[in-house]
Amino acid sequence: MARRSLNEGVYLSKMNRNAGTIRLVKSWMQQLLILLGALLAALLIGAILLAIARSNPIRAYYVMFTGPFSSRFGITETLVRATPLLLVGLGIVISFRSGILNIGGEGQILAGAVTAAALALVLQSWPAPVLIPLVLLAAAAAGASWGGIAGWLKARLSVNEILSTVMLNQIALQIYLYLIRGPLIDPQEVAYGTGVPQTALLPRQVWFPRLVPATRLHAGLILALLLAVLVYVFLWRTTIGYRMRAVGAGPAAARYAGIRVEFYLILAMALAGAFAGLAGAVEVLGVHHRALEGLSGGYGFSGIVAALFGRLHPLGTIPASLLIGALILGADMMQRGVSIPAAMVMAIQGLVILFVVSSDILLRQPELLSRMVPRLAKKR
């Protein structure tokens, strides 16, 4: 029975194959050009929307694109967003490469965040060199368990992972809200009767050091970058990594080769969850210094986008996270720069995603590209 369920993984494995060919087909220069072309096309349609919203598209885009890069504030804020995006994205890369789709990032982030906050509060007096690794490991373990549930349900009971992760996100959110308004609530909030759902401030020694003074850029970025390299090594230079990719490329063949497919599916989902849980912990230790409402911030979804922009490659996810981070910040600054409704920001992001995924066809079918841009093709 379980064997049959693995056929569900087929469509993902097909995608992986596409991702594989993409890397072979095009030089990075052409990939970049196509990506930029798609971005431009999305922004042109966005310009029409901006015109409908009675604001000057040129001014709006000027703010959107210069905002994230024109000041120390913009650059650091972009990196602050890129950090959790990269972490979640790395988990997504692992799971996609193993033929399983993790859309439970939101719930896993919360599981990691609340575990990190609770542990750091319980072990208040422990020294940082012990406490920080412990907190991070615990958060990763919490995320891994939450993701692992979906992996286990899939591997053992053939419950589709999209179904289970959608449900698990909701369940995690309610448990999270219960914990931060109930057992973990800041005692001061109760004492003053304000009852804001958030935990107490974590002990100072667990706060991540700030990389640039007077900004929010924290050491979590370095951790994320290191992990990106580690994931690359893991997937392409270790036996386990090789087996996981084999499962992703074709579960039937992998099974034939004697690989325990179920085990690697659970592992893939658990690792994806671990990275999302880590992202939650990094947000707590690096940015907020406590667990509070609205912490996951949609990173569970935008992390998927970052991983796909990064062509499902751990190192490609690094620039992709920067791009998505800059896009989110820039679009948000546009709201203030030219005072357009916040909803516009969302619409433009949606357009960008639609155009960029659509442009993939040019990479998969290079003949289309050469028909469109003959000179570019000649260069090849």
Nearer to another protein, 73 or 126 (CB): 73
The Cβ-side half-sphere exposure at 216, using a 13 Å CA radius, reads 17
Q: Which is nearer to another protein, 1 or 239 (CB)?
A: 1
Cβ 344 to another protein shortest distance, Å:
5
Taking the complex as a whole, the smallest distance from the CB of residue 71 to another protein amounts, in Å, to 5
Token pair listed for 270: 């658990």
- Which residue's CB is nearer to another protein, number 10 or number 130? 10
Least spacing, CB of residue 223 vs another protein, in Å: 17
289 binds another protein (CB under 8 A): yes
Q: Does 337 bind another protein (CB under 8 A)?
A: yes
Q: Cα–Cα distance between 310 and 320 in angstroms, integer?
A: 5
Among 27, 32, 59, 230, binds another protein (CB under 8 A): 59
105, 304 contact by CB (below 8 A): yes
Amino acid found at 158: S
* Sign, Cα dihedral of 178, 183, 186, 187: positive
Residue closer to another protein, measured from CB, 234 or 273: 273
Q: Which of 29, 157, 226, 230 contacts another protein by CB under 8 A?
A: 157
Between 56 and 238, name the residue whose CB sits nearer to another protein.
56
CB of 33 to another protein, least distance (A): 11
Name residues contacting another protein, limited to 29-58 (CB under 8 A): 37, 40-41, 43-44, 49, 52-53, 58
Minimum separation from the CB atom of position 18 to another protein (A): 8
CB of 205 to another protein, least distance (A): 17
Which of the stretches 22-30, 166-174, 250-258, 266-274 binds another protein when contact is defined by CB under 8 A? Answer: 166-174
Q: Does the footprint of another protein cover residue 259 (CB under 8 A)? A: no
Position 255 contacts another protein (CB under 8 A): no
**Residue from 145, 158, 205, 370 that binds another protein (CB under 8 A)?**
158
Is 101 near another protein (CB under 8 A)?
yes
* Residue 54: both structure tokens together: 């009675």
* Residue of the chain from 108, 164, 317, 321 that contacts another protein (CB under 8 A): 164
Q: Binding to another protein (CB under 8 A): which residues in 218-247?
A: none
CB-nearer residue toward another protein: 28 or 192: 192
Q: Point out which span in 7-15, 119-127, 131-139, 266-274 binds another protein (CB under 8 A).
A: 7-15
Under the criterion CB under 8 A, does residue 153 sit at the interface with another protein? Answer: yes
Q: How many CA atoms lie within 13 A of 261 on its CB side?
A: 25
Our finding on whether 137 is near another protein (CB under 8 A) is no
Q: Report d(CA 139, CA 198) in Å as an integer.
A: 18
Among 198, 231, 311, 316, binds another protein (CB under 8 A): 198
Nearer to another protein, 63 or 270 (CB): 63
Phi–psi pair at 103, nearest 5 degrees: -105, 25
CB of 48 to another protein, least distance (A): 11
* 260 lines the binding site for another protein (CB under 8 A): no
Contact segment (CB under 8 A) with another protein among 136-144, 247-255, 273-281, 334-342 equals 334-342
Minimum distance of another protein from residue 61's CB (angstroms)? 7
